[in-house]
Structure 1
Amino acid sequence: MDITLPAIPAGVLVLLGLVAPYAQALLQHPDWTPTAKKIASVALAFVLTGVVLVFYYVYTGDTVPAWPTLVLLAWAVAQASYAMVTKPSASKLESRTSRQ
């Protein structure tokens, strides 16, 4: 099985995935359970992938059949970004923007 990712959607998705923890921090509340936060991260990966694929289709007219792989890529990059780089600042943003 050959998995071929189109370069432009994958690249844009990686860039958006790097800042996805900030988007998730704006949407969630610090009191959410870890399960709810994981569900939100997967939902955010689907949304990011959908947005990228819609813009790619509008711009080029090509469909991308590898969307499940792109969802996994978006989720993996967002999780890695949160774990390695953005955790302190995303956590601060989450606590500052949540309703008390």
Structure 2
Amino acid sequence: MDITLPTIPAGVLVLLALLAPYVQALIQRPEWSPTVKKIVAVGVALALTTVVLAFYYVYTGDTIPDWPVLVLLAIVVAQASYAMVTKTTATALEQRTSPQRY
């Protein structure tokens, strides 16, 4: 099986996926269970991939048959970005943007 990724969508997807933990931090709440947070992470990656592929299609008119690979790429890059770079700042953003419970 030959997997060929188109360069432009893959590059744009990687750059945007590096910032995906911040989008996820704006959506989720600290009191949510880890399972729900994982579902949100996958949902953000799917939405990000959909947006990138839609813009690519509108701009070029070409469809990408290997889109599942791009979804996996978005998930891996977003999770690696969170684990290695953005964990402290994304967690702080999540805390600040969550409604306070009294």
TM (normalized to structure 2)? 0.97
What is residue 16 of structure 1 aligned with on the other side?
16
After TM superposition, give the deviation of residue 70 of structure 1 in Å: 0.3
What is residue 3 of structure 1 aligned with on the other side?
3
Say if 2:79 is the partner of 1:79. Answer: yes
Whole-angstrom CA distance in 2 between matches of 1:68 and 1:85: 25
Identity among equivalent positions (%) equals 72
Whole-angstrom CA distance in 1 between matches of 2:46 and 2:20: 12
After TM superposition, give the deviation of residue 82 of structure 1 in Å: 0.1
Give RMSD over aligned pairs.
0.4
How many positions carry a matched residue from both structures?
100
Gap regions ≥5 residues in structure 1: none
Whole-angstrom CA distance in 2 between matches of 1:21 and 1:78: 6
What is residue 43 of structure 1 aligned with on the other side?
43
What is residue 97 of structure 2 aligned with on the other side?
97
Gap regions ≥5 residues in structure 2: none
What is residue 68 of structure 1 aligned with on the other side?
68
Whole-angstrom CA distance in 1 between matches of 2:2 and 2:88: 38
